[in-house]
Chain A
Amino acid sequence: MLQIKFVLLWSDLLFFVLIAAVVVGGVWAGRVEHLRLAWRQVGQSRVGMATATVLLAFVLVALLDSLHYRERLPGDQENYAVEVRSALDAALTGLRTRTEKTYSAPLATHLFVKESINKHAGPPQVFLGPLRGELRAAEFSGGDADADLGRDFPRLQHGGAHLGDDLAVHDSDIAAKAVKGLGLGLLGTLVFGLASLPLRRAAPHLAWNAQLVTVLVLCLLAGVAAVLAGDYHVLGTDKVGQDVLYLTLKSVRTAILIGTLTTLIMLPAAVLLGLLAGYAGGWIDDVIQYLYTTLNSIPGVLLIAASVLMMQVVIDTHPEWFATTAERADARFLALCAILGITSWTGLCRLLRGEVLKLRELEYVQAARALGVSHARILWRHVLPNVMHIVMIAIVMDFSGLVLAEAVLSYVGIGVDPNTISFGTMINTARMELAREPMVWWSLLAAFAFMFVLVLAANLFADVMRDAFDPRVVKR
């Protein structure tokens, strides 16, 4: 009897479709000579291989986080928990469940804020365990300590709990765990290197060493984080005591999906209309041009804001459409992708139209027409394959901008559902913490750092892709 029920959210489905499309597209590109050459150029570039590895690691996290399920509740009847979890949640159960009361700094053993601790109740270690509930409510503001009460930083429930009272070994414990993590990372790299040996033999010209170095760095970081995360909060905890590392890993899915699904949603319309406008000309061209000029002339943020406001009203007035909050958040997320897509398809459409205008007059298209090939077939066989490089470049170039846009939009309040964990919502909840004294910096910095690595990798990869696929770039 299966103890879980798989849930396929719409965004998961689209993400899987996208990955399948990338795989199919990769196989197709491997068969076409000039595309194979372009891909080889990407593979030979050290930057290309390194950034592709980083991006793949992020995609892997997103993929794990897209396998959703609902746990079966105990009991004879077949009931399932309302909460939708993912494979990533299951893998990070420890991180998810070990919540503290509120802020704690990275690798800390004590809470970040002072609380009133009743000294008469016994020695401090009493509060570590089940008696914690006797603590008074946390007082965040300053003020003189009561005579009976000492104000101190209480021990964390989980962070460094294995140390007990022996806090003197805190630093050496972290160092020992870090060394262990480094060793684990090294081992992981070794295994990966051995496993990829056949690939190396098959394609000896590619920049495998750059990839191995990237894998080494990733494995070392992941190893240290994994070993330390067993006993500490590596990146601290946020206001409600959730582990920041867990939140950042969860945010990866939102970022990746918003960067890819948006383009996926807008792609069919942009390609179809771009091809039609360029190929058909006449009034069809006029209508399509009018359409994208009009959409383009509305400032992007305002169109997104207006659409998101309206979508919120629709979702709020129809609560009966969604069975779980996850589905609701997912619907909102997809709607956001669609809205972002509507505002961003115009650029690609215009590029395609211009290119097709040129292609239409080329000899091989003229010859096909003279031979009586139908318009649809000409578009499919002769025009579309020759504009695919523009589409591919547009997809990777748009990605980083969309990831950054998500954070800004969520910050403004027109982004993803507040319950969806994303870089934007993390930054949004962390902004108040900056005014605190001393400052709570870790959740902000963690979100920015992860986002920076993702966007930097995407930008560099996009550059390599453009250099390889764009025929206008002079090859040296």
Chain B
Amino acid sequence: MLAYLIRRLFYALPILIGVNIITFALFFVVNTPDDMARMHLGAKRVTAEAIDKWKAERGYDKPLFWRSDAAGVDKVTDTIFFGKSVRMFALDFGRADDGRDIAREIRTRMGPSLAVAVPVFVLGLFSAISFALLLVYFRATYLDFAGVVLCVALMSISGLFYIIGGQWLVSKIWHLAPISGYAEGLSAAKFVILPVLISLIAGIGSSARWYRTIFLEEYTRDYVRTARAKGLPERLVLFRHVLRNALIPILTGAVVLIPTLFMGSLLIEAFFGIPGLGSYTIDAINAQDFAVVRAMVFIGSALYIVGLLLTDISYTLVDPRIRLQ
């Protein structure tokens, strides 16, 4: 197991390097730092000094890969590629355009992101599985049909509509929850409840429908027929046999999402003013703060790779037929 883990970590390394190279190419080769400076400084006629100053402030005034005028290791280390990209592996993300340390921002903003994302993940999984079970229990009836139609209708509505409509109805008309904002500690609950609720409604359509097909597929298996043949009541077949076996693909499929919960949700956080990583990213996109966007891309990819690893491990834990070598 440990050997497998170590090997998998080594497999992950090239992917992370690939991500790094892609982001580097995207941010520094497609556009030169001069282009970015001109774009950032806005005006059509920007003096060369202003551009140089902008680049120097952000450390973009170095060669891309190779510094021929430096001595020794500095030839490689004192370049944009090393300074901006390679250092990310050491979780050194540099500073944002407003001068703040990105790594520190990320640490403080993780909490609010998790406060929304974790309840959404747990409750979403629970509600979608329950709803799918309900549909499967009443399968091939009008109730099932109506439920599937409801699912398709729910997933055809834009996420923006759920957010805007929910804010309008719950906060503005009913005055049940604040429209937006956030507070530390336990008082965060009243700010978090509406975004969580809206995310649940927005997500339940597609996931419940997906889980329903997984359950139905499990129903065609031989052991289900055997269970029925020996006279088990339908309820027991569903809960003791189908549910347990169908949970394996559902739960292992959800594991990949766990690390990415740290990233938060862009839309929900932006709309509800939650100071998490999602709204941080949105602000960075709007302010065209390339350093922050680059850092978020890197962290997001790293977390996704961790998620893939966790998925593999969870497979071996829940399904004894799978062995890792």
Chain A residues with a Cβ under 8 A of chain B: 290, 293-299, 301-303, 305-307, 309-310, 312-314, 316-317, 400, 404, 407-408, 411-414, 423, 427, 431, 434, 439, 444, 448, 451-452, 455-456, 459-460, 463, 474
Contact = CB atoms under 8 A, between A and B. Distances in A.
B173 to A, nearest CB: 10
Contacts of A314: 30-31, 35
A294 B285 contact: no
A312 B286 CA distance: 12
Given A444-B164, A448-B161, A306 B27 contact: yes
Interface residues of B, number: 47
Contact of A294 (B18, B152, B168, B270): B18
A306 B305 contact: no
B196 interface: no
Given A298-B297, A414-B285, A310 B164 contact: no
Contacts of A400: 156
Contact of A305 (B22, B157, B293): B293
Contacts of B23: 298, 306
B86 interface: no
A452 B14 CA distance: 42
19 contacts: A290-B14, A297-B308, A305-B293, A306-B294, A307-B26, A309-B285, A313-B30, A317-B31, A407-B160, A411-B267, A412-B270, A412-B282, A412-B285, A413-B286, A431-B164, A434-B167, A434-B168, A452-B161, A456-B152
Contact of A309 (B14, B290, B301): B290
A316 B27 CA distance: 15
Which one of B156, B267, B286, B288 has the greatest number of beta carbons of chain A within 10 Å?
B156
A411 B164 CA distance: 12
Chain B CB within 10 A, most for which of A297, A303, A317: A297
B57 to A, nearest CB: 18
A382 B247 CA distance: 38
Nearest to B168: A434
A300 to B, nearest CB: 9
A299 B266 CA distance: 12
B156 A316 contact: no
A306 B297 contact: yes
A121 to B, nearest CB: 39
Main secondary structure of the interface of B (DSSP, over half): helix
Contacts of B160: 407-408, 411, 427, 448
Interface in B105-158: 152-153, 155-158
Contacts of A407: 158, 160
Contacts of B167: 434
Contacts of A413: 285-286
Contacts of B266: 301, 412
Given A297-B305, A427-B160, A302 B152 contact: no
Contact of A317 (B39, B158, B270, B288): B39
Among B23, B26, B167, B294, the one with the most A-chain Cβ atoms within 10 Å of its Cβ is B26
A97 B308 CA distance: 55
A455 B156 contact: yes
Contacts of A444: 164
Contact of A310 (B30, B153, B296): B30
Nearest to B155: A459
B199 interface: no
A404 B18 CA distance: 29
Nearest to A302: B297
Contacts of A460: 152
A317 B38 contact: yes
A302 B293 contact: yes
Contact of B26 (A293, A294, A306): A306
Q: 10 smallest A-B Cβ distances: which pairs?
A: A294-B18, A299-B300, A456-B156, A455-B156, A313-B31, A297-B301, A297-B304, A302-B297, A448-B161, A305-B285
B15 interface: yes
Contacts of B39: 312-313, 316-317
Contact of A299 (B15, B152, B263, B267): B263
Contact of A293 (B15, B161, B220, B282): B15
Contact of B297 (A299, A408, A412): A299
Contacts of B296: 302
Interface string B24-62: 001100110001101100000000000000000000000
Which of A301, A423, A434, A463 has the most C-beta atoms of chain B within 10 angstroms of its own C-beta?
Answer: A301
Contacts of B293: 302, 305-306, 309
B15 A297 contact: yes
B46 to A, nearest CB: 12
Contacts of B301: 297-299
Given A298-B297, A310-B31, A313-B36, A404 B158 contact: yes
Given A290-B15, A293-B15, 19 more contacts: A290-B18, A296-B304, A298-B301, A299-B260, A299-B301, A302-B281, A302-B300, A317-B39, A404-B159, A411-B160, A412-B270, A412-B282, A423-B158, A434-B164, A434-B168, A439-B168, A448-B158, A452-B158, A456-B152
Identify which of B18, B158, B263 gathers the most chain A CB atoms within 10 Å of its CB: B158
A82 to B, nearest CB: 20
B305 A298 contact: no
A305 B296 CA distance: 11
A455 B153 CA distance: 9
Nearest to A294: B18
A302 B277 CA distance: 12
A455 B267 CA distance: 20
